[in-house]
Amino acid sequence: MSEGKALSKVDQSGSDRDFAALARDLVDALPGHLWSTDSGGRFTYINPSMREYFGVGSLTEESDWLWRVHPDDHDAAAAKWRHSLHTGEIFKGEHRLRGADGEYRWFRIEGRPSWDTYHRITAWHGQNVDMEDQKAELKARTLELSLLVDMVPSHLWRLTPDGTTTLVNKRMADFLGLDVSNVSSLESVMDTIFHPDDVEAVGVELTRCLASGDRFSMRYRLLRADGAYRWMSGRAEPLRDQDGNIVQWFGLCHDIEDQVQATAALRRSAEKLAQATQAANLSQLSASIAHEINQPLAAIAADSEACSRWLSADPPNVERGRRAAERISEDVGAVTDVIARIRALFQHKPQARTVEDINQLINEVLSLMSDEIAATTTRIDTELDPALPQVLVDHIQVQQILVNLIRNGIQAMDSTNPLRKLRIKTDRDGPNTVVISVEDSGSGFSDPDRVFEPFFTTKSAGMGMGLPICRSMVESHGGHLWVKNNETVGATVAFTLPIGLPAEQV
């Protein structure tokens, strides 16, 4: 078969001769490789660009193309080509072909048979498309992608729809101590890399997700190459084709061991803190009980001494003795009240609050403390707002606050201080609040920032619980207590109480 005849069967407009010449010009000019063989696969035509690539001058130098195929591709290509020659099936393949310079390039080769009227193959016509550049580009992109997959700071893996592992990235392989190139080794280790306590749960969840197509998301421990288990957060999503069928699963897991350890440490310290707080509360509570009971007990002791002194005087001062005895019985009542309140505290019973006139309450406290005040020769000045509205308070608690603040003020002014003046003031502080202040001319606070710390005291016999307890009592009323040093001398302790709160809000 001549080169011209191979194409002359096609009838186009114009004469056969004209068309044959046109066709020859066309295939000669085409940059791709075009060829024809006889029915046995021997070349009958090779276009100029193919001749040039193979470096041959004429057809006689070339029997078929198979001997030019790269040795690695040869057997598969030869088998396929023989199969096509035998059956007439279209030939399609991608193989490397050696050029005149001895270098191989990738080609996509396609050959189709021509049939005669008796359904016999008369010839094969084909085309080789050079895809070396595409292949090189693909290779570069694949390399880049696999680099990316390996460099991602997470562990990546891929599963088939039935759950067989087909890929893990380098980071994951290094973590597990696997040979990443040996995919078949992956499956065998997958069962042994999970912590024994997690393996069953992971298996159940993964099986469920593979069956349902639901996203997989779990925490589990993986065995690192050095034998240590580390907590991981794993996720996997299915990749579906156009029809919605799952074709692959892609998974990602990242190491959360440090996070898990940090959370555990945080939980442990929170537990310790809770225990410590409990212990502190207990000691604070016992101190506060002691503190609250100590005050009336000290008063009882002082009054009983005073009582016996008045009665054993000559002549006995029965009236003063009787007043001292009355105070003793009042103080005993105060102790009973304290105990009742502590019991109520444990039963979570709020104390009944009553509407009180704070000015009157202050006078009551001053008369309760009259002996103590007289013994220290302290001058008490009061500036009580006559228009002060009544407030809803726990009578005993407010009494205790005032006793504490007055006693602290007196104690801050030592006997060498010629001024020894204590001023108690009440006032409105805005429409909804009253403010009560106790101002002394004593030493002032040496460390005002620490006075609310439980057990902070500068006194040899102090307990350091007075101010913290006062503040918590004021706050339980919805008020606020603060301390400050006066500009010239002494200190002021003041607190607010809200006016007119409905009983249920207090």
Single out the residue of 219, 239, 216 nearest to residue 231, CA to CA: 219
User: CA 452, CA 441: separation in Å to the nearest integer?
Assistant: 21
Would you say 121 or 489 has its CB closer to ligand ADP?
489
Q: Which residues of 328-367 are buried (b: 16+ CB within 10 A; e: fewer)?
A: beebeebbebbeebeeeeeeeeebebeebebbebbeebbe
Output the six-digit token pair for 336: 């009973």
Would you say 166 or 376 has its CB closer to ligand ADP?
376
CB of 446 to ligand ADP, least distance (A): 6
- What radius of gyration, in Å, describes the C-alpha atoms of the chain? 51
Are 157 and 140 in contact, with CB atoms under 8 Å apart?
no
Q: Which residues of 69-99 are buried (b: 16+ CB within 10 A; e: fewer)?
A: beeebeeebeebbeebbeebeebebebbbbb
- Using rule CB under 6 A, residue 473 touches ligand ADP: no
Output the six-digit token pair for 419: 């001024």
- Using rule CB under 6 A, residue 376 touches ligand ADP: no
Would you say 292 or 440 has its CB closer to ligand ADP?
440
Distances (CA, A) of 275 to 268, 269, 281, 282: 11, 10, 10, 11
Would you say 193 or 410 has its CB closer to ligand ADP?
410
- Using rule CB under 6 A, residue 451 touches ligand ADP: yes
Residue nearest to ligand ADP (CB): 466
Question: Which residue in 217, 459, 475, 503 binds ligand ADP (CB under 6 A)?
Answer: 459
- Using rule CB under 6 A, residue 467 touches ligand ADP: yes
Question: Which residue in 442, 474, 477, 495 binds ligand ADP (CB under 6 A)?
Answer: 442
- Using rule CB under 6 A, residue 472 touches ligand ADP: no
**Opening angle at CA 107, ends 106 and 112, nearest 5:** 160
CB of 316 to ligand ADP, least distance (A): 36
Query: Which one-letter DSSP state was computed for residue 118?
Result: T
CB of 445 to ligand ADP, least distance (A): 5
For residue 457, which amino acid is it? T
For residue 504, which amino acid is it? E
User: CA 303, CA 368: separation in Å to the nearest integer?
Assistant: 11
Would you say 61 or 453 has its CB closer to ligand ADP?
453
Query: Which one-letter DSSP state was computed for residue 6?
Result: G
Output the six-digit token pair for 369: 């403390």
Beta strands in 188-280 (DSSP E): 216-223, 229-240, 246-255
Number of residues written out for the chain: 506
Are 40 and 82 in contact, with CB atoms under 8 Å apart?
no
- Using rule CB under 6 A, residue 111 touches ligand ADP: no
Residues facing 485 on adjacent strands: 491
- Using rule CB under 6 A, residue 454 touches ligand ADP: no
Would you say 111 or 296 has its CB closer to ligand ADP?
296
Would you say 83 or 459 has its CB closer to ligand ADP?
459
CB of 408 to ligand ADP, least distance (A): 3
Crossing angle of helices 318-346 and 395-412, in 10° steps, is: 120
Would you say 49 or 288 has its CB closer to ligand ADP?
288
CB of 267 to ligand ADP, least distance (A): 35
CB of 317 to ligand ADP, least distance (A): 33
- Using rule CB under 6 A, residue 437 touches ligand ADP: no
Piece in contact with ligand ADP (CB under 6 A), picked from 61-69, 229-237, 421-429, 462-470: 462-470
- Using rule CB under 6 A, residue 457 touches ligand ADP: yes
Question: Which residue in 127, 165, 397, 408 binds ligand ADP (CB under 6 A)?
Answer: 408
**Opening angle at CA 309, ends 307 and 312, nearest 5:** 105
Piece in contact with ligand ADP (CB under 6 A), picked from 92-100, 322-330, 369-377, 465-473: 465-473
- Using rule CB under 6 A, residue 462 touches ligand ADP: yes
- Using rule CB under 6 A, residue 463 touches ligand ADP: yes
- Using rule CB under 6 A, residue 491 touches ligand ADP: yes
- Using rule CB under 6 A, residue 445 touches ligand ADP: yes
Are 93 and 80 in contact, with CB atoms under 8 Å apart?
yes
- Using rule CB under 6 A, residue 440 touches ligand ADP: yes
Question: Which residue in 113, 126, 464, 479 binds ligand ADP (CB under 6 A)?
Answer: 464
CB of 381 to ligand ADP, least distance (A): 15
The reply to whether omega before 315 is within 30° of 0 (cis) is: yes
- Using rule CB under 6 A, residue 443 touches ligand ADP: yes
The contact set with ligand ADP (CB under 6 A) reads 408-409, 412, 440, 442-445, 451, 456-459, 462-467, 491, 493
